[in-house]
């Protein structure tokens, strides 16, 4: 048995699928079909594409009820559930805040207090209404926009895994940009897939080795997207409740049964902090996390090498 790789560019990163099998042509064909699912969902969920379902919702749902296909409706309902479960720390209806900080376009700037308060009035899944019988969605305040960047990759991977399982794939790995990973079964040698969580400041120092079987791992952090003003770094992960970047973690990695939940909860735990994340996991033994924080000066302050030591919080790991 060997690993057979296929890859596709989607959602702003490289997705790779590794299928364990004897027939390389068959394995790659199955992997390609699974990744085609990712490409299709990218076209549906991207807020950058004017013809996507999400863009159509953002354009019209404040004016009238908008019908969406059943799977997308189910995803949006799951987003609302996760918002409730995390007390608002995860909220995809925060596009107005991302626009205020200009993270919508990947650049970033410091939003003014007036801009933040105005955006908060147009933020929150509490302003999204659902008609489950007819799969209709309506925004109850004008200016609200959905942005699925904190969950779309995980959801796409879960749907791709459905394709792999349909074709009988029991062992393999599929990931999106290496930040969200799903591990099926076991590798050709060994009883579990191993993934290394590294120090996000230098990308080399290993911090924790995670062993996965039929589970997902997702990592969120501010080391790639931030704006720095007067020596202070403001990350792109915003607290939807305050409209500001939370202070604390460097990165949060979450292990969960599905990539959808791992993706969403890595963002939620980043916003919530280690204490609240531990409380959440105490009620959900199927969820685990590794939270990295700098000890000493806050990460938001520019510091010179050597790097301050890390505080590693392990929650729910064996």
Please write the tens of the pLDDT for every residue from 135-189.
Answer: 999 999 999 999 999 999 999 999 999 999 999 999 999 999 999 999 999 999 9
pLDDT of 74: 98
Q: Where in the chain is the domain with CATH 3.10.520.10?
A: 1-47+148-188, 192-318
**Structure letter (DSSP) for residue 9:** E
Nearest to 291 by CA among 307, 276, 273, 279: 273
Give the homologous superfamily in CATH for domain 53-139: ApbE-like superfamily (1.10.3980.10)
- Alpha helix stretches (DSSP H) within 233-314: 259-272, 274-283
pTM (whole model) above 0.95:
no
The CATH code belonging to domain 192-318 is 3.10.520.10
Q: What is the mean pLDDT of residues 19-35?
A: 97
What are phi and psi for residue 248, nearest 5 degrees? 150, -100
C-alpha to C-alpha distance for 304 and 318, rounded to whole angstroms: 35
The answer to whether 285 and 172 are in contact (CB under 8 A) is no
Q: Where in the chain is the domain with CATH 1.10.3980.10?
A: 53-139
* CA 254 from centroid of its chain's CA atoms: 10
**Mean pLDDT of the chain, nearest integer:** 92
**Structure letter (DSSP) for residue 105:** G
What are phi and psi for residue 261, nearest 5 degrees? -70, -40
- Would you say domain 1-47+148-188 falls under CATH 3.10.520.10? yes
Q: What is the mean pLDDT of residues 242-249?
A: 90
Nearest to 315 by CA among 253, 223, 258: 253
Joined together, the tokens standing for residue 141 give: 């305040």
Confidence of residue 236 (pLDDT cuts 50, 70, 90): confident
C-alpha to C-alpha distance for 86 and 92, rounded to whole angstroms: 12
Query: In this structure, is the dihedral angle defined by the CA atoms of residues 159, 164, 170 and 171, taken in order, positive or negative?
Result: negative
Beta bridge partners of 221: 251
Q: Using alpha carbons, list the distances in angstroms from residue 135 to 75, 84, 119, 132.
A: 11, 20, 27, 5
Residue 137 burial (CB count, 10 A) = 21
């Amino acid at each position: 048995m060997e690993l057979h790789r296929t890859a596709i560019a989607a959602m702003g990163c490289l997705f790779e699928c590794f299928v364990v099998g004897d027939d390389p042509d068959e394995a790659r064909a199955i992997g390609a079909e699974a990744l085609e699912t990712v490409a299709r969902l990218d076209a549906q969920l991207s807020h950058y594409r004017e013809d996507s379902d999400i863009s159509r919702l953002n354009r019209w749902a404040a004016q009238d009820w908008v019908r969406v296909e059943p799977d997308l409706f189910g995803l949006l309902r799951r987003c609302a559930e996760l918002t409730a479960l995390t007390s608002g720390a995860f909220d995809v209806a925060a596009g107005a805040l991302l626009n205020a900080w200009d993270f919508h376009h990947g650049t970033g700037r410091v939003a003014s207090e007036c801009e933040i308060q105005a955006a908060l009035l147009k933020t929150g899944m509490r302003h999204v209404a659902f008609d489950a019988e007819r799969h209709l969605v309506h925004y109850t305040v004008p200016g609200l926009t959905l942005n699925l960047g904190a969950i779309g990759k995980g959801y796409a991977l879960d749907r791709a895994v459905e394709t792999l399982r349909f074709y009988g794939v029991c062992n393999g790995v599929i990931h999106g940009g290496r930040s969200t990973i799903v591990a099926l079964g076991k590798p050709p040698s060994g009883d579990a897939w191993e993934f290394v969580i590294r120090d996000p400041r230098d990308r080399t120092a290993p911090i924790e080795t995670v062993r996965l079987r039929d589970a997902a791992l997702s990592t969120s952090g501010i080391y790639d997207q931030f704006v720095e003003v007067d020596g202070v770094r403001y990350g792109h992960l915003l607290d939807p409740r305050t409209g500001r970047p939370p202070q604390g973690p460097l990165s949060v990695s979450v292990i969960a049964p599905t990539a959808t939940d791992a993706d969403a909860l890595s963002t939620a735990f980043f916003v919530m902090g280690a204490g609240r994340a531990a409380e959440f996991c105490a009620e959900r033994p199927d969820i685990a996390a590794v939270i990295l924080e700098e000890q000493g000066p806050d990460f938001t302050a520019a510091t010179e090498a050597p790097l301050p030591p890390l505080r590693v919080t392990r929650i729910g790991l064996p």
